[in-house]
A and B are shown apart, each in its own frame.
Chain A
Amino acid sequence: MRVIGHIAVNVFRESVRDKVLYNLVIFAVLLIAVSLLLGQLTAGQDIKIIKDLGLAAISLFGLFIAVFIGIGLVSKEVERRSIYSLLSKPIRRQEFIAGKYLGLVLTLLVNVTVMTAAYYAVLGSMAWVAGGWFLPAWEAPAMDPALLKAIAMIFLQLMMVTALALLCSTFTSPILATALTFGLYIVGQFNADLKHFETIVASRPVALLARILYYVLPNLSRLDVKTQVVHALPVPAGYMLWSAAYALAYVAALLALATAIFMRRDFK
């Protein structure tokens, strides 16, 4: 466990050195600038739009970090040939993969946490300017704690995307791995369509294949509750727990596969 911890902390330090956290400044500037401009443009919907925009930005910034840093986790070590010296030390390959993964998840956690704090600060300042924390025209309070549910679900999505990026980077080139990860991210938004494929095709084997693909491919769309939360619609705790369990199980499966592929690679 100590080895995994060391690798994870190193990944976090490296991402800080690579100025990954600069995106937090962009995020804060974007939110503040938009919140100042919106009042004139949205017919009283500025709080709703800032909520939407903030959640979308947390998700998008996190996605780019997860993909671009995630792809480099293994491939960078191979390109720089530092993998040889690393593996000559008493580090098992499964520890290497787990440490790299947890390091990036830690980076994402710090990112998402700081973005969430900035997000609530902007919402709080807008509510203060508007003259109330929960005006009758709003569907939910400006600093609605329920927004954390959507942010938690975004974080689960990012954990899945990071695991996908790491998996792809263990067996192919960085460019292909990036394309594959983005491809799987997009598929993950649509794969609910596969679930009821039997209603549009007559062939039973095709419908069965679609159903198998539905369970094998990442299902990211069910982790998206941004719209519900912004409109103060209920997101049951049970749903959150089942979704978290699904995401963690899927991540574990992807890491197991990534480790298996990585263990077969010859670095001698």
Chain B
Amino acid sequence: MRRPFPTALIAATVVLLALATAVQMQRDRIYAEGAHVDEDVLYVQSPTLMRKAALSFSSVMADVYWIRALQHYGYYRLHQEAPQRYRLLYPLLDLTTALDPYFNVAYRFGAIFLSEPDPGGAGRPDLGVALLEKGVASTPDRWQYYHDIGFIYYWHLNNPTKAAEWFKRGGDLPGSPWWLRTYAAVMLTKGGDREASRAMWSNLLQTADNDWVRKSARLRLMQLDALNQIDELARVRDEFKRRRGRLPESWEELNKAGLLRGVPVDPTGAPYTINFATGKITVAGDSKLYPLPTEPAPGQAAPQ
């Protein structure tokens, strides 16, 4: 014969559990814990050891490290005052890609996170290239890695010669898009040219299969628009200086001189700033476009 269901005991369990929850909430209210989410510790640093220890679960462990890398990146993206920013980003991505050597997004996104200048990334394009080169070693026929390495050399390292070399290698792969070879030619003839950059980012915007990359490409195109607008504003400033023999002391002065209307704003709507001592015009520190990419001066040789 079956015993009757102990309803009273079940009810008591629920009540006691509710009591424990209430006590815990009260304790947490009185003795609040710090809100530091990002644990700045990497217990296992060796990719080889981790790969062995994961047994046949290396893919799922790679996913765990990928999520940790994203959390690490997200934490420092939000906490711009934190010291030693993005310190673990490369080791985490290195572990992720060692555990799953075909983790395409970890290479491509990871390289962007590493290459972007602070505050948007670790400001380490060299590590971005190193991560992608690891991707090339594991999947040599994936043209996207060659494309991304070329892009980092061009955009972050101002090295059109190396960029052309990687674009050409990618363009020579079977199945790669036709425009990759044209990039190589453009790099060699017009390295550092702003319109060449615009063509590349536009292409990326149209061909990207991911919202994050599309968003990044839109931002870059707005930065290029801002660079064009800054050139326009510099011409206005120079005209003022030609007429008055000195730099303007405010945007208002340029308005009064009839050279400008209102306070100029960048494509995100944030006002441009002008250093009235040196005349340098740039985007504001709180603009989404800050910092603008550095461009080699006309005739300046790109660093090799």
Contacts and interface: CB of A to CB of B under 8 A. Distances in A.
Q: Do A and B come from one complex?
A: yes
Main secondary structure of the interface of A (DSSP, over half): helix
A48 interface: yes
Interface string B99-141: 0101011000100000000000000000000000000000000
A236 interface: no
A226 B62 CA distance: 13
Interface string A193-226: 0000000000000000000000000001100101
Given A48-B63, A139-B104, A42 B70 contact: yes
Nearest to A42: B67
Given A137-B209, A186-B55, A227-B102, A53 B60 contact: yes
B153 interface: no
B304 interface: no
A190 B52 contact: yes
B294 interface: no
B161 interface: no
Contacts of A220: 56
B55, B58, B109 — most chain A CB neighbours (10 Å): B55
Nearest to A56: B60
B57, B70, B71, B109 — most chain A CB neighbours (10 Å): B57
Contact of A43 (B57, B104, B212): B212
Contacts of A221: 56
B278 interface: no
Interface string B18-46: 00000000000000000000000000000
Contacts of B109: 43
Given A48-B63, A49-B63, A139-B104, A227 B70 contact: no
A65 B245 CA distance: 87
B167 interface: no
B66 A42 contact: yes
A231 B102 contact: yes
Contacts of B62: 52
Nearest to A226: B59
A41 B209 CA distance: 18
A233 interface: yes
B211 interface: yes
A60 interface: yes
B105 A45 contact: yes
A44 B66 contact: no
Q: How large, as a class, is the contact surface on chain B?
A: 20 to 34
A73 interface: no
B56 A226 contact: yes
Contacts of A131: none
B251 to A, nearest CB: 40
A259 interface: no
Nearest to B212: A43
A67 interface: no
A189 interface: yes
Contact of B57 (A42, A60, A136): A60
B199 to A, nearest CB: 22
Contacts of B56: 59, 157, 189, 220-221, 224, 226
A254 interface: no
A258 to B, nearest CB: 24
Interface in A35-71: 41-45, 48-49, 52-53, 55-56, 59-60
Contacts of A48: 63, 105
A53 to B, nearest CB: 6
Contact of B63 (A44, A52, A60): A52
Contacts of A224: 56
A230 interface: yes
B130 to A, nearest CB: 21
Interface string B59-80: 1101100110011000000000
B206 interface: no
A49 B104 CA distance: 13
Contact of B105 (A43, A157, A186): A43
Interface of A: 41-45, 48-49, 52-53, 55-56, 59-60, 135-137, 139, 157, 186, 189-190, 220-221, 224, 226-228, 230-231, 233
27 contacts: A41-B71, A42-B66, A43-B70, A43-B105, A43-B109, A43-B212, A44-B105, A44-B212, A45-B105, A48-B63, A48-B105, A49-B66, A52-B60, A52-B62, A52-B63, A59-B57, A60-B57, A135-B209, A136-B209, A137-B209, A139-B104, A190-B52, A221-B56, A226-B56, A227-B59, A227-B100, A227-B102
List the 7 closest pairs (A to B, CB-CB), nearest first. Answer: A56-B60, A136-B209, A231-B102, A52-B59, A137-B209, A224-B56, A49-B63
Given A42-B66, A55-B59, A221-B56, 12 more contacts: A41-B70, A42-B67, A43-B109, A48-B63, A48-B105, A59-B56, A137-B210, A190-B52, A227-B59, A227-B102, A228-B102, A233-B102
